[in-house]
Amino acid sequence: MADRCYDYIIVGSGAGGGPLARWLTAAGHSVLMLEAGSRFQSHEHPDNELEANNRLMWNGGMDASRDAGFMFLRGKVFGGGTVINQALLDRFDARALDSWAERSGLDEFSVDAMARHYDAVESELTLEHIPRENGNRNAELYVDGFEKLGYGWAPLRRGQSHCRVDQGNDCIRCLGGCPRASKQSMPVTFLARAEQQGLEVVTDCQVDGLSHGRQQVTVFGRQQGRARRFFGRRCVLAAGSLGSTRILQASGLAPELPALGKGFYCHPQFVTLALYDRIIDAHKGSFQAVKSDDERFRAAGFKLENVFMGPSGAAYLMPGFGAKHRDLMRAYRNLACIEVAVRDVTPGRIGGDGRGGLRIDKRVGAPERQRARAGLNVIHDIYRATGARKVVHSPVRIGLHLMGGCAQGRDRATSVVNPDFQVHGLPNLYVMDASLFPDAPGINPSLSIMALAHRAAERLLGEPLDARPEAA
């Protein structure tokens, strides 16, 4: 491996890097993947929350914004965010894609043009709608409240197979890595196929920067403290919104790319718990089974998620100190939870802190506060209609679904990556992950990141993938 020049180096193994590696190797290219996190077999995933956060997430799940108003969660593991996420996989609607087309100037962002990319990705995944009978009491309360108040809801579509919640498995463990290889994360789907097709992987290797030459890209990294160098004719950054943006900045490319680091978005989560007199056991079984499906909520820029968290997560999110906090924790089994996930419109900025670390400037703006309030009003109505004794708001703002920083578009002044996924002015350097997003869609993003990877593979290979039988 030492001085070999690969056809492609892919940095990052998440929702963007995994599918891309699968299609590039299927086309016969030599591909090296570099990943900062470690590799786990399914049965090796940590079985307690704190250890999982520590071993599977950047900074133990504590990437704070500069004013500590947000905590951002992102995976640092072979498979990236797809190992620790909930694998809820939805296509984007016209509301999301039309906004992207307008911002980027790219017609490819339309429901019709994206359809065949979604088809291709979905054909490689096992997708299941959670059956109503598998929902737990937290889901039952949610549905009851929605129906009493006349709001639309729908079962969730999840990337999973043989999950066996009907046999007593609790899928909340999946957030620390699925122990049964049921969740359709990259290592059990696209990356498994890519490795069968010859993908080489180096884990525990953090990329610090790169240098772009006429014939090749040199990538500099550290593997367990040891400096490493890798060579590729082309390099694709798939290190996620924060990772890819930082690698470009640390490589000294910011002066040539005025939009780099701008337009950083997430979906801020406003967690609201309710205390009932009866046992709810919201952590049991399919801990997330239903979603809001109401055009009024979509138009108002929020959705309501029926979620829960393990005891460490609950202790972290719960307000208060001492006896007040203890009493809430004692009532863990009587708690239900709904959160408002807001479609973010106030852009943040990604940069360096001058000491080799990240600086993330991001705040909850007035539009997000107003959207959150609208959602919280509905949640209060639901809890009241279903007999909750007390409503508890978490003071912690979690930022999930990190997007932007290297927006795709035509105009170099407002974008970093061109319609062919190439960094403007650097023909051997590409980006393929959520950093491409021109704004926040308000919908779970990972299926769309995978669909974009299908489109990126076609651009890199220079022809439609369905014209290549080996990639079909």
Ligand X SMILES: Cc1cc2nc3c(=O)[nH]c(=O)nc-3n(C[C@H](O)[C@H](O)[C@H](O)COP(=O)(O)OP(=O)(O)OC[C@H]3O[C@@H](n4cnc5c(N)ncnc54)[C@H](O)[C@@H]3O)c2cc1C
Q: Which residues bind ligand X (CB under 6 A)?
A: 11-17, 34-37, 73-77, 80-82, 84-88, 175, 206-207, 238-240, 243, 247, 400-401, 433-434, 444-447, 449
- By C-beta, is 12 or 261 nearer to ligand X? 12
> What sign results for the dihedral spanned by CA atoms 157, 160, 161, 162?
negative
Task: With beta carbons less than 8 A apart as the criterion, state whether 331 and 391 touch.
Answer: no
Residue 433 has which token pair?
A: 């992950």
- By C-beta, is 79 or 388 nearer to ligand X? 79
Least Å from the CB of residue 113 to ligand X: 20
- By C-beta, is 328 or 450 nearer to ligand X? 450
Q: With CA atoms as reference, report the closest residue to 462 among 406, 407, 422, 408.
A: 422
Residue 444 has which token pair?
A: 């779970």
Least Å from the CB of residue 104 to ligand X: 17
- By C-beta, is 84 or 314 nearer to ligand X? 84
Least Å from the CB of residue 267 to ligand X: 9
Q: With CA atoms as reference, report the closest residue to 83 among 169, 181, 217, 215.
A: 181
| Residue 71 dihedral angles phi and psi, to the nearest 5° | -115, 125
What gap in Å lies between CA 328 and CA 325, rounded to an integer? 5
Amino acid at 435: S
Least Å from the CB of residue 423 to ligand X: 16
Detail the DSSP E strand segments found in 109-262.
127-129, 153-155, 157-159, 200-202, 205-212, 217-223, 226-237
Calculated CA dihedral for residues 312, 313, 315, 317, nearest 10 degrees: 170
Least Å from the CB of residue 215 to ligand X: 23
Least Å from the CB of residue 441 to ligand X: 10
Q: What is the DSSP letter of 463?
A: S
- By C-beta, is 276 or 287 nearer to ligand X? 287
Least Å from the CB of residue 123 to ligand X: 18
* CA triple 271-277-279, angle to 5 deg: 75
- By C-beta, is 418 or 448 nearer to ligand X? 448
Least Å from the CB of residue 407 to ligand X: 13
DSSP reduced 3-state for 383: helix
- By C-beta, is 183 or 371 nearer to ligand X? 183
- By C-beta, is 388 or 429 nearer to ligand X? 429
Least Å from the CB of residue 291 to ligand X: 10
Q: Report the residue closest to ligand X, judged by CB.
A: 14
Q: DSSP string covering 74-110, please?
A: -B-BTTTHHHHS--B-----HHHHHHHHHHH--TT-S
- By C-beta, is 335 or 447 nearer to ligand X? 447
Task: With beta carbons less than 8 A apart as the criterion, state whether 351 and 359 touch.
Answer: yes
